[in-house]
Amino acid sequence: MPLPVILDCDPGTDDAFAILLALASPELDVLAITVAGGNVGLEHTLRNARALTALAGSNVPVYAGADRPLLGAFVSETGVHGEDGLGGIILPDGKPPAPGLAADVVRRMLRDSAEPVTLIGIGPATNLALALTTEPALTKHVAQIVLMSGAWAEGNATPAAEFNAWSDPEALAILLACGRPVVFATLELTAQALVTPALIAAWRALGAGRCLQAACDIQSAVPPSRRLGGAGAPLHDPCAIAWLIQPGLFTTRTCSARVDLGPGPGRGRTLIDRWNRTGDALNAMVLETLDAPGFFDLLGHRLALLP
């Protein structure tokens, strides 16, 4: 039976691939797409999620959520994603957002589901944290929380912190403390999903569908990563989806994890103890290695199934 999931996102170029992969995969029953401000402001991320869902011909409802973190000010990442979040690639507008706020919808769906729901977070964790903090008893209806977040070495938003974790570290801390299994696709994992121009050309050859071609257009607009040597750009967010679809593509390690909530330069850093040096409770599974050719094959062929 398909796995019931709620996909919380902030599209975002890599979110575009993640949304399309989720919608193309019969292993997942996407109950809702909830949206926060993150890579760009909520007015853009919400429009992008609606447009991508419509492009895929999906009727999955899209809900607006938080436009800022639990504490502090909102900061976008237009240098990677462009002012509109999709690298300037214009998609037809989708249906209006479904009525309701993301956190309320998450709570309602957890209450109503006949089986535990997997929460997927590929943006700042604000929406998911608001849902679980305002009704903690609902955590028993959460199967697991799968996140693209964090790093065990250096960050990409600051020297210490990965962007999603840094954008709302208090929200991430709430998820880590909620008592449900948490899975991390960190920067070290997603660096292995490095997309080059040659790979984009190979994807384009898989079909002429509008979703595949739009995804290739979007990725072509992403600047090469200076952090990763300039050979291409990593696809962060689809790694979290691929873990649920084909876990055999990954190796994993169970760790303790916490997040720096201080005001200094370490704010948002995820302290992931891969070697159990602290003796803290093991509260997270970290995806460590990726079969990159298998991942890229999965991504290209699934997107080619879409319209």
Active site residues: 236
- Cα 29 to Cα 33, 90, 140, 169, distances in angstroms: 11, 27, 19, 28
Residue pair 143/117 in contact by the 8 Å Cβ criterion: yes
Return the DSSP state at 176.
H
- Cα 111 to Cα 106, 108, 132, 141, distances in angstroms: 9, 5, 12, 7
Q: Give the start-end residues of each E strand in the chain.
A: 3-9, 28-35, 62-64, 117-121, 142-148, 182-185, 194-195, 233-234, 250-259, 270-273, 284-290
Dig out the tokens for 287 from the structure.
């995806």
Q: How far apart are CA 275 and CA 162, in angstroms?
A: 21
CA angle, 91 then 163 then 226, to 5°:
85
CA angle, 199 then 54 then 83, to 5°:
65
Residue pair 270/151 in contact by the 8 Å Cβ criterion: yes
Dig out the tokens for 135 from the structure.
């009704």
Beta bridge partners of 101: 64
Dig out the tokens for 236 from the structure.
């962060």
